[in-house]
Amino acid sequence: YAGWPGDPHLKALCGGDVLPRRLAADLLPRVSQLWNMYGPTETTIWSLRHRVTEAESQIPIGTPLGNTTVHVVDRDGNPAPAGVAGELLIGGAGVARGYRGDPELTARRFVSLPAFGQGRLYRTGDAVKRRTDGPLEFLGRTDNQVKIRGFRVGLEEVEEALAGCPGVAAAAVVTTPDASGQSSLAAFIVEAMGGTGNAASWQAALRNRLPGYMVPTLYRVVPSLPMTASGKIDRARLPRIEAAAPTSRGAPRDPIERALVGLWQELLAVAQPGIDDNFFDLGGHSLLAFLLLARIKALWGQEITMAALFNAPTIRGLANLLRTEGQTAFSHLVRLRPGTGRPLFIVHGILGNVLQLAALARLLRTGRPIWALQARGVDARFGPHETIAEMADAYLAAIRTEQPEGPYALAGYSFGGLVAYDMAVRLRRQGEPVEFLALFESDLHERHLPLAAKIAYQGTLARRVIRKLAVLPRSAWRGYMSEKLRKLKTKFGAGPGEVPTLLRDIPPDLADRYRRMYEIGLGEFRRFKPGRYDGRLSVFAVQGPRFDACDPLPIWRRAAAAVDVFRIDGDHTTIMDPPHVRSLADRLSMCLEPFR
């Protein structure tokens, strides 16, 4: 930067805007210390700081200065757990009295929340998340947050990740509708001098750092980005984006492949997809996958399972399935990754498909083969199992075709953890060794809690309602309590005429089958009480408190001979998505290491 040689005695404090990784990399060897400073004027300039020792891709804004408190809250004003985005509130001696002559704005931005004591807090409007080691990361402005497939995304976080890709000097990200009617992301790229990147390389780099729903599907290279007078990206002046994700060419060879090309153009907004392009690499996600399967059923009358799409995600592969009328033999086993030695078997979540387990399998540092167990009901030719016991028996028979005898390694995600646990109990009763049993965010019904834990849990829920009522105007109490009562009645399912959240995006002609599996899983969750397991249980659970379900650890500790707990990033629904899945993969890899 301007050829400045630096000063080895200088301590550099950077503030006022996001500290770019490249600037940090240039400054670190030129100064004795580099600090990233954060703070709005309303809290007397600086409130947090972070000593920068390496040019991380996401440089934290750090921890609070003395006499300063910081809180990360969700939209209801409740504390957000580590790894989950929320709004930053700042309290302490530096908080200003308000805006002169503007009492309405003062009332909106300077608040008191009983959950955090009696002091006044300033609502920054900045989206942040707390890292597991303590510092906060800045994600962008809350008013630049958008909803992508039900997840809240900060556009600045995606732009920062793009700016760290090779060959990118600057980037801007906007939303654009895809064929499913959902919002997807589109990126405008200013290339660095001599940059040789392309959409394929940028997508590949982003998939290692961001969840799939945060990876743009459309890209356009522009000479510069329009800016506001204050130096921010002016998204309203960005040009219309028409570029599409890149493809590997390969012309369709027959009517089936030509029809599939048309479906991919419709769903993925790709102008000329090649027959060997991967559906998921071109921006396909679970909802678009459901739409693709529904379109295939409408055109050819054949039902392709999600596992079949996972194993044949190209036009060539799907066409081969359709030519054979999709009549592949059904198996509960779906190979996620080859390997040698004893396999790890992972049981599906409540909807039965195994697509969501693919990222975890990819990231595991183990030479073992990784197999997923899919539910029978995902194949239209077969009805679903009705009980966990039926599932456990069928899945044990399936894994014995691949591994006839123990020791076995089992795992399960969410509802699948209950099935995996029951499988392990049955194996031990049959005298078979189980070397490893892992549950990923597997809840249990609160009715099985020990009395003291049940009282504590119900007290936590009551206090949360009281805290909420304390900050709501009396006029809003009736509506809030009505909503709470409605949620209490439908806590683990849908009321009359309602569609469960997990099923709202599934096409109607597929939804009935998945709703049936959901209802079965829900009923079995309510009834399931874990039997005695005489081995060691590994529980992988997210950081921080949860209010939508009780803490199942007291129940697991009563049921298993020993329980190890591993805290992971994300929340119940995002632990299988990047970047959170890396936290799960790292800890699971460590646990598997002794069992080679």
Q: Can you name the residues that pair with 129 across neighbouring β-strands?
A: 137
Structure tokens of 243? Answer: 């570029």
Structure tokens of 581? Answer: 């899945």
pTM here?
0.59
pLDDT tens by residue, 268-300: 777 678 888 888 777 777 778 888 888 888 888
Decide if 213 contacts 301 (C-beta within 8 A): no
Distance, in Å, from the CA atom of 150 to the CA atom of 501, rounded to the nearest integer, reads: 10
pLDDT tens by residue, 561-573: 999 999 998 888 8
**Number of separate helices (H) and strands (E) present in the chain:** 16, 21
pLDDT tier, 498 (very low <50, low <70, confident <90, very high otherwise):
very low
CATH of domain 7-141: 2.30.38.10
Task: Write the class of the CATH domain 333-445+526-595.
Answer: alpha beta
Q: Determine the Cα angle at 272 with ends 270 and 276, to 5°.
A: 95
Statement: residue 186 has pLDDT above 60: yes
Fold of 255-317: 1.10.1200
Decide if 413 contacts 348 (C-beta within 8 A): yes
Count CB atoms within 10 A of the CB of residue 508: 7
Lowest mean pLDDT, pick from 2-11, 209-218, 464-473, 549-558: 464-473
Distance, in Å, from the CA atom of 158 to the CA atom of 164, rounded to the nearest integer, reads: 10
Q: Where does 447-512 show beta strands of DSSP type E?
A: none
Q: Identify the residue with better confidence: 185 or 489.
A: 185
The full DSSP string for 28-91 is GGGEEEEEEEE--GGGTS--EEEEE-S--SS---BEEPTTEEEEEE-TTSPBPPTTS-EEEEEE
Q: What is the largest CA-CA distance in the chain?
A: 78
* Pairing assessment for the beta strands 48-52 and 533-542 based on DSSP bridges: unpaired
- The separation between the first and the last C-alpha atoms of the chain, rounded to the nearest angstrom, is 51
Q: Identify the residue with better confidence: 450 or 52.
A: 52
- What confidence score (pLDDT) does residue 57 get? 67
The architecture that CATH gives domain 149-237 is 2-Layer Sandwich (3.30)
pLDDT tier, 342 (very low <50, low <70, confident <90, very high otherwise):
very high
139: phi > 0 → left, psi -120 to 50 → alpha, else beta; which?
alpha
Report domain extents, the chain: 7-141, 149-237, 255-317, 333-445+526-595, 450-509
pLDDT tens by residue, 582-596: 889 989 999 998 766
Distance, in Å, from the CA atom of 525 to the CA atom of 393, rounded to the nearest integer, reads: 17
pLDDT tens by residue, 323-336: 876 566 788 998 88
Closest by CA to 414, choosing from 561, 563, 576, is 576
- What confidence score (pLDDT) does residue 552 get? 83
Contacts of 109 (CB under 8 A, 6+ apart): 42, 98, 99, 122, 123
Contacts of 580 (CB under 8 A, 6+ apart): 83, 211, 568, 569, 570, 574
Q: Do you find a cis peptide bond into 103, omega within 30 degrees of 0?
A: no
Burial class (CB in 10 A: 0-12, 13-18, 19+), 480: middle
Q: Where does 414-495 show beta strands of DSSP type E?
A: 434-440
* HEC string for 229-274: CCCCECHHHCCCCCCCCCCCCCCCCCHHHHHHHHHHHHHHCCCCCC
Closest by CA to 362, choosing from 217, 591, 590, 208, is 208
Statement: residue 52 has pLDDT above 70: yes
SS3 call for 560: strand
> Around 140, how many Cα atoms within 13 Å sit in the side-chain half-sphere?
19
Q: Determine the Cα angle at 329 with ends 354 and 410, to 5°.
A: 40
Query: What is the chain's alpha carbon radius of gyration, rounded to the nearest angstrom?
Result: 26
Alpha-carbon dihedral sign for residues 520, 523, 526, 530: negative
- What confidence score (pLDDT) does residue 546 get? 60
| Helix or strand holding residue 178 (H, E) | none
Closest by CA to 265, choosing from 255, 254, 273, 257, is 273
pLDDT tens by residue, 536-546: 999 999 876 66
